[in-house]
């Protein structure tokens, strides 16, 4: 599912800390982003509408219904489809060609490719 | 001064400023136009007039004010809205009951305001939500370094959002700069331009003026010139901001800055397929203005000051105006005085007769033209003045009306005698029975 930055921020906290009450979320996010309580609640509601969060209990405990990996998968697939003609190969080629990888990182990538064979 | 009078005088100023803008006089800096528009907005929102007593201009301004007054007659005063019964005794040109037309106009005015508020409320709510959900920028040394250097005392937050396309500033008391996520933050000179531009908006309190200009259009929505003012003002705000950026960063950076703007605009148009031609024109206007940038000269400053002073004269009126509610002139409180105040004043008579403090001419009837107040003398030796309008009585619109009037006043009638000020009542003048044969 498509999550905006603000929603990702909320999910981030849940992924890191586990299930939290809406009040706790508001407190943590206030410190991290300066959002006031109502803003946080609005974002949480949007996440609930998208199915990313489920609320239970009388304290409005929020539970992440989608994992970080799943969202990563979605965003990456979006990116590859949009910018690299849907070709994962093209995506990696572009990545490797740019000077943004150190030798260490290249070696690590090679390892991963080897292992997944 | 009432709303129609204000709208009219501000409208004249708006036409003049728009004309100046059209002429594109290079010497005048863009920031001068900002001052002019600010004066217009203040004029539209603040119902104050500064009375200046200058007999030299009294005649000319008597004429201008009379034309404004004739528009005002449609409206009387704001407070008379709530005392409709007084209208029966006032002779007005229109045959219909003035009450319904005026109350209807007021209702339409209020509905217009409500409509505009409702339409803009949704827009505002959506953008407000996006702003509230913006996230503080990841630590960027360059940006925080710049902000620290330029505004060390003031804490202006910089936030980023994935739902905006161009950078902008929000807030008046706690200003925040919002940057789009998809900006190339590695190009430091571009980041520089954006930051400086937005900071100037903050320093100039442009957001406050945006709100004030919106309020002005809200109140004067019926005046198309107000809408013209709104769009011109906003365009000039941007151009004046660009001008300041170049003046701060140096004329040599003109091209670079313009290119940055074009790129930002390009990005926006790519993402919004229906990028309308209005915005394109606005951007074009800005680019042209930037490239034509010239340092502010002394001549420019003097010209600007002259224009600002001339613009300020919209606040001045030469006749005596009552700015605030004065219970003396409230028809519910002082009926006779109210009638006197609303009477017309014959400006032509001023060549022949002296003028009293309320602007009415008075004197014995010597010339072809009647004065407003005509001298009368009664048997008991009471000497004073009666309003010509009162003496002449109601003007019949038809023969039937003429007979009806004669019938009504067949036993004679009474007319109030005043002192030359047209206010102080000194006696009653009896007009004897009409001769019917």
DSSP classification of residue B188: H
Dist. CA B253–CA B246, nearest whole Å: 7
Q: What are phi and psi of B251, to 5 degrees?
A: -60, -25
Is the pLDDT at B134 greater than 70, yes or no? Answer: yes
Q: Could you report the per-residue pLDDT of A34-53, keeping only the tens digit for each? A: 999 999 999 999 999 999 99
Least confident of A15-24, B210-219, B288-297, B329-338: B329-338
Map residue B384 onto helix, strand or coil: strand
Segment A85-111 shows an average pLDDT of: 79
Q: How far apart are CA A35 and CA B58, in angstroms?
A: 60
A34 close contact with B: CB closer than 8 A: yes
Return the pLDDT at B155: 81
Position B150 scores a pLDDT of 80
Chain A: nearest CA to B135, how far in angstroms?
6
Nearest CA distance, B72 vs chain A (angstrom): 48
Cβ of B162 within 8 Å of Cβ of A34? The answer is no
Max CA-CA distance within chain B? 102
CA separation (Å) from B206 to A59, B175, B248, B273, B297? 44, 11, 18, 29, 24
Strand, coil or helix: B367: coil
* Least confident residue range of B79-83, B295-299, B362-366: B79-83
Per cent of chain A over pLDDT 90 is 51
CB environment B87-110: b (16+ within 10 A), e (fewer): eeebeeeeeeebeeebeeeeeeee
- Would an 8 Å CB–CB cutoff place B129 in contact with chain A? yes
Confidence of residue A23 (pLDDT cuts 50, 70, 90): very high
Averaged pLDDT for residues A88-97? 79
* pLDDT value at residue B108: 92
Per-residue pLDDT tens over the stretch B391-400 = 777 667 777 7
A3 to chain B: closest CA residue = B162
Question: What is the reported pTM?
Answer: 0.66
Contact B244, B200 (CB under 8 A): yes
Tokens of B56: 């030299």
Report whether pLDDT(B298) > 90: no
Which residues does B278 contact at the CB level (< 8 Å), separation at least 6? none
- Nearest-angstrom CA–CA distance, B247 and B253: 10
When scoring A2, A34, A41 by the number of chain B Cβ atoms within 10 A, the one with the most, hence best to mutate, is A34
Q: What are phi and psi of B390, to 5 degrees?
A: -70, -45
Q: Is the pLDDT of residue B114 over 60?
A: yes
Q: Give me the phi and psi of B131, to 5 degrees please.
A: -65, -40
Band the pLDDT of B232: cuts 50, 70, 90.
very high
Q: What is the per-residue pLDDT for A54?
A: 92
> What confidence tier does B18 reach under pLDDT thresholds 50, 70, 90?
very high
pLDDT-based confidence at residue B226 (cuts at 50, 70, 90): very high
- What mean pLDDT, rounded, does chain A reach? 88
Share of chain B above pLDDT 90, in %: 22
Cβ–Cβ pairs < 8 A, chains A and B:
28
Chain A contact for B161, CB < 8 A?
yes
- Please list every residue in chain B whose beta carbon sits closer than 8 Å to the beta carbon of residue A82: none
Residue A45: predicted pLDDT: 94
From the list B136, B160, B163, the residue facing A4 with the nearest CB is B163
- Give me the pLDDT at residue B347, please: 66
| B267–chain A Cβ distance below 8 A for any pair | no
Decide if A36 contacts A30 (C-beta within 8 A). yes
User: How deeply is B74 buried, as exposed, middle or buried, from its count of CB atoms within 10 A (0-12, 13-18, 19+)?
Assistant: middle
pLDDT higher for A65 or B266?
A65
> Is residue B287 a contact partner of residue B262, using CB atoms and an 8 Å limit?
yes
Cα B42 from Cα B220, distance rounded (Å): 12
Over residues B234-253, the pLDDT tens digits come to 999 999 999 999 998 888 88
- Are B106 and B81 in contact by the 8 Å Cβ rule? The answer is yes
- Which pLDDT belongs to residue B375? 81
Nearest CA in chain A to B180: A5
Q: What is the mean pLDDT of residues B101-122?
A: 90
Q: What is the CA radius of gyration of chain A?
A: 18
Range with the lowest mean pLDDT among B78-82, B372-376, B429-433?
A: B78-82
How close is the nearest chain B Cα to the Cα of A13, in Å?
A: 14
Q: What is the pLDDT of residue B321?
A: 42
Q: Who contacts B75 (Cβ-Cβ below 8 Å, separation ≥6)?
A: B2, B3, B4, B102, B105
Mean pLDDT of chain B: 78
CA distance B151 to B329: 53
- How far apart are the C-alpha atoms of B183 and A111, rounded to whole Å? 34
- In sequence order, what DSSP letters do the residues of B403-417 get, joined into one string? HHHHHHTTT-EEEEE
In this prediction, residues B213-236 reach a mean pLDDT of 94
Cβ–Cβ contact B157 with A under 8 A: yes
- Of B405, B393, B418, the closest CA to residue B336 belongs to B418
Per-residue pLDDT tens digits for B143-192: 888 887 887 777 888 899 998 888 999 998 889 999 998 888 888 888 88
The answer to whether B135 contacts A9, with C-beta atoms less than 8 Å apart, is yes
Per-residue confidence band for B25, with pLDDT thresholds at 50, 70 and 90: confident
Cβ within 8 Å, pair A33-B135: yes
* Per-residue confidence (pLDDT) for residue B201, from 0 to 100: 93
Alpha helices in B46-182 (DSSP H): 55-72, 98-132, 141-150
CA–CA separation, B329 and B188 (whole Å): 65
Residue from the list B157, B160, B162 with its beta carbon closest to the beta carbon of A4: B162
Q: How far apart are CA B334 and CA B337, in angstroms?
A: 6
Residue with tokens 């980023």: B160
pLDDT 10s digits, A100-117: 777 888 788 788 888 877
- Contact, B245 vs B252, CB < 8 A? no
**β-sheet with B362-363: strand ranges across:** B362-363, B373-377, B383-387, B413-418, B425-431
pLDDT of residue B86: 40
Instruction: Say if residue B3's pLDDT is above 70.
Output: yes
């Amino acid at each position: 599912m498509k999550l905006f930055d603000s929603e990702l921020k909320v999910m981030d906290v849940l992924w890191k800390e586990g299930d939290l009450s809406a009040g706790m979320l508001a407190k943590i996010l206030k410190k991290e982003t300066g959002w006031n309580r109502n803003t946080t609640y609005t974002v949480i509601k949007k996440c609930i509408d998208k199915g990313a969060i489920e609320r239970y209990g009388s304290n409005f405990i929020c539970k992440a219904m989608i994992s970080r990996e799943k969202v990563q998968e979605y965003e990456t697939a979006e990116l590859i489809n949009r910018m690299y003609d849907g070709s994962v190969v093209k995506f990696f080629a572009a990545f490797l060609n740019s000077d943004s990888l150190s030798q260490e990182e290249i070696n690590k990538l090679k390892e991963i490719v080897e292992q997944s064979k | 001064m009432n709303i129609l009078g204000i709208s009219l005088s501000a409208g004249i100023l708006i036409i003049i400023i728009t004309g100046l803008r059209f002429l594109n006089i290079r010497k005048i800096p863009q920031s001068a136009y900002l001052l002019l528009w600010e004066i217009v907005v203040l004029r539209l929102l603040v119902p104050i007039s500064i009375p200046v007593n200058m007999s030299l201009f009294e005649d000319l301004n008597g004429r201008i004010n009379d034309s404004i007054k004739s528009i005002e007659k449609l409206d009387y005063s704001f407070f008379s809205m709530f005392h409709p019964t007084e209208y029966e005794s006032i002779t007005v040109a229109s045959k219909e009951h003035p009450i319904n037309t005026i109350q209807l106009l007021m209702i339409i005015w209020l509905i217009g305001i409500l409509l505009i508020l409702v339409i803009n409320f949704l827009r505002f709510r959506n953008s407000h939500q996006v702003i509230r959900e913006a996230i503080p920028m990841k630590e960027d040394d360059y940006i925080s370094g710049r902000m620290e250097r330029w505004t060390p005392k003031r804490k202006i937050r910089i936030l980023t959002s994935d739902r905006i396309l161009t950078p902008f500033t929000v807030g008046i008391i706690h200003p925040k700069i919002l940057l789009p996520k998809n900006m190339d933050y590695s190009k430091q000179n571009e980041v520089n331009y954006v930051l400086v531009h937005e900071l100037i908006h903050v320093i100039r309190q442009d957001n406050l003026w945006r709100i004030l200009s919106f309020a002005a259009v809200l109140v004067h929505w019926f005046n198309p010139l107000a809408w013209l003012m709104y769009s011109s003002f906003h365009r000039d705000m941007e151009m004046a901001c660009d001008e300041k950026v170049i003046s701060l960063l140096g004329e040599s950076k003109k091209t670079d800055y313009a290119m940055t703007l074009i790129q930002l605009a390009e990005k926006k148009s790519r993402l919004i397929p229906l990028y309308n031609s209005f915005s394109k024109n606005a951007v074009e206007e800005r680019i042209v203005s930037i490239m034509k940038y010239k340092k502010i000269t002394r001549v420019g400053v003097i010209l600007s000051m002259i224009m600002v002073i001339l613009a300020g004269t919209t606040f001045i009126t030469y006749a005596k105006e009552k700015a605030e509610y004065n219970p003396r002139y409230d028809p519910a409180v002082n009926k006779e005085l109210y009638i006197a105040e609303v009477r017309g004043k014959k400006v032509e008579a001023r060549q022949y007769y002296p003028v009293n403090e309320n602007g009415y001419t008075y004197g014995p009837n010597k010339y072809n033209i009647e004065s407003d107040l005509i001298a009368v003398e009664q048997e008991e030796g009471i000497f004073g003045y009666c309003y010509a309008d009162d003496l002449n009585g109601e003007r019949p619109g038809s023969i039937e009306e003429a007979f009806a009037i004669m019938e009504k006043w067949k036993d004679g009638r009474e007319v109030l005698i005043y002192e030359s000020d047209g206010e102080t009542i000194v006696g009653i003048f009896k007009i004897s029975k009409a001769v019917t044969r």
